């Protein structure tokens, strides 16, 4: 089990080791009471480690919204936001590993 506050600003990598960006939002499915997806801000380069303290107030005010079950497709350009379904997450630790192979084949 992982606390939602831990996910905010976590670095995202594919299973192949490609850096994709950082989590900016966590989307909850209120009906099921689970994390539905995470929103990732695309960064074409891995930023240096930041020593910013994190608190739950920041998540609630800036990084949490409710899933309305809508699907949106967005371009992956620097600074853009894209969704990663939570079922694509393979591991969470100091980084998050996601399996985006099916998504990349469709693009």
Domain boundaries, the chain: 4-106
State pLDDT tens for residues 32-86: 988 899 999 887 666 555 444 545 555 555 555 555 544 444 445 667 899 999 9
The answer, as to whether pTM is greater than 0.75, is no
In whole angstroms, give the CA distance from residue 49 to residue 11: 10
Give the domain 4-106 fold.
SH3 type barrels. (2.30.30)
Spacing of C-alpha 103 from chain mean position = 15
Determine the Cα–Cα distance for residues 30 and 32; give it in Å rounded to an integer. Answer: 6
What gap in Å lies between CA 47 and CA 18, rounded to an integer?
Answer: 14
What is the structure's pLDDT at 3? Answer: 84
Is the distance from CB of 13 to CB of 46 less than 8 angstroms?
A: no
Q: Is the pLDDT of residue 105 over 90?
A: no
């Amino acid at each position: 089990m992982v606390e939602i506050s831990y996910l905010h600003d976590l670095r995202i990598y594919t299973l192949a080791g490609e850096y994709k960006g950082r989590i900016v939002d966590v989307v909850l499915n209120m009906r099921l009471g689970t994390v539905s997806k995470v929103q990732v801000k695309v960064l074409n380069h891995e930023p240096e480690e930041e020593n910013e303290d994190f608190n739950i107030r920041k998540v609630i005010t800036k990084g949490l919204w409710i899933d309305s079950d809508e699907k949106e497709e967005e371009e992956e350009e620097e600074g853009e936001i894209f969704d990663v379904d939570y079922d694509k997450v393979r591991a969470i630790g100091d980084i998050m590993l996601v399996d985006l192979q099916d998504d990349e084949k469709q693009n």
